[in-house]
Amino acid sequence: MYKLITLSFFLISINSAFSQEGQIIQEKATLFQLQNGEDTIEFIVVDTELNQRKPIFLWCQGSLPQPLFGEIFGRDGEWVYYFQGGGIANFNYSKIIENYHLVVISMPHTPTVVSKENLSKQFLYVPDLTKPRELSKKYIEKDYLENYVSRGTKVLDFLATKDWINTDELIVAGASQGSKVATKIATSNPLVTHLGLFSPNPFGRIDQFVRQPRLDAELGRITWEKADSLMQQQYDFFKKANNPDSLKAEPRLKAWKTFSEPFYDDWLALDIPIYLAYGTEDRASDLCDIVPLFFIAANKDNLTLKRHLHLEHNFFEAEDGRTNYEKGHWHEVMMGFLDWLDNAANR
């Protein structure tokens, strides 16, 4: 679902004076700004009239500094702004805002709106487009789990003071890296009532890069000698990511350290309803298959697992390791979650 906004109208619709009172962006969302030391937290509520009291649906986006709005060359031959919204453009978010205030937080040190001068072909914010692979140093320094959780907590605390927020229900959901952020917010915030996890890795992050060469060797794609070498490289890398001196010298390693901790124990510690959805062609989420065993052993029944057959990490169809980007299924995946929420509310 593409949300394209003409450049001229966009610039009319937004000015430079953002504040805690909110600023409407192109009749689509309200942008808020919170001061947080050196990093200003920007986030949107996907609505323009915040006069209806509804619960929050906090969407925690995945990795990398993708802006919520980015300028691209449109199909009509003019520059337009595409509303990515941290991934919500992939599904019918209008169904969410019928019952919830949908909230998305910008990535650290990543402007909510990025023009073509600072947008790479991968839709990433880069300070210098002549160096499209060099991300902002400030972003890299703040790209770690605890910071995302702290930023999310500050946003939720701020919103809880608004009279248009119903605090009786609080949905926190995220995809991929965002599922880890959502997990930690849920374990630290007693107001969270439902947790949605999409394409998570129960054991963190680094383990999938150990499991992949093993699978490749089992399938005969590479030799076992090659697999052994590749797995050892991952051990060496993770050892480096856990070395205090290396972390000081290379801030990028902090993301690998913090996002590679196991998360299934956090899920087990929660008593709120948890919805876990993943694709069977997603190597990162393979170990979701065993998560129900942990809940059964703990005599807990608050986990709902939805396995989407033949879909990959971003819920596109995949076969023999090849992704078909013409056949995406995020819409159905999210509708399944919304139906689950409705049923949970009616129980």
pLDDT, tens digit, 9 for 90 and up, residues 9-61: 444 344 434 455 789 987 789 999 998 888 899 999 999 999 999 999 999 99
Amino acid 280: pLDDT: 96
What is 274-313 written as a DSSP string?
Answer: EEEEEETT-GGGGGGGGHHHHHHHTT---EEEEEETTB-T
- One-letter amino acid at 339 equals D
- Range 276-280 average pLDDT: 97
Which of these ranges, 56-65, 187-196, 262-271, 316-325, has the smallest mean pLDDT?
316-325
List, in order, residues 6 or more apart from 338 with CB less than 8 Å away: 95, 96
Cβ(81)–Cβ(69) under 8 Å? yes
- Range 315-326 average pLDDT: 92
Q: What percent of the chain clears pLDDT 90, i.e. is strictly above it?
A: 85
What whole-number distance in Å separates Cα of residue 145 and Cα of residue 246?
18
Exposure b/e, 59-68, CB count within 10 A at least 16 = b: bbbbebbbbb
What whole-number distance in Å separates Cα of residue 21 and Cα of residue 39?
19
Which one, of 47, 156, 153, 70, lies nearest residue 118 by Cα?
A: 70
Looking from the CA of 165 toward its CB, the CA atoms found within 13 Å total: 19
Which one, of 96, 288, 286, lies nearest residue 173 by Cα?
A: 96
Q: Inter-axis angle of helices 145-159 and 177-188, to 10 degrees?
A: 60
Amino acid 345: pLDDT: 64
pLDDT, tens digit, 9 for 90 and up, residues 196-251: 999 999 999 999 999 999 999 999 999 999 999 999 999 999 999 999 999 999 99
Interior angle at CA 270, CA 265 and CA 273, nearest 5: 120
- Range 120-137 average pLDDT: 94
Supply the pTM of this predicted model: 0.92
Amino acid 346: pLDDT: 57
Q: Using the predicted structure, report yes or no on whether residue 155 has a pLDDT greater than 90.
A: yes
Cβ(295)–Cβ(303) under 8 Å? yes
Q: Using the predicted structure, report yes or no on whether residue 1 has a pLDDT greater than 50.
A: no
What whole-number distance in Å separates Cα of residue 281 and Cα of residue 135?
29
Q: Return the residue matching tokens 């995946």.
A: 333
Amino acid 12: pLDDT: 37
Return mean pLDDT, the chain.
92
Cβ(263)–Cβ(294) under 8 Å? no
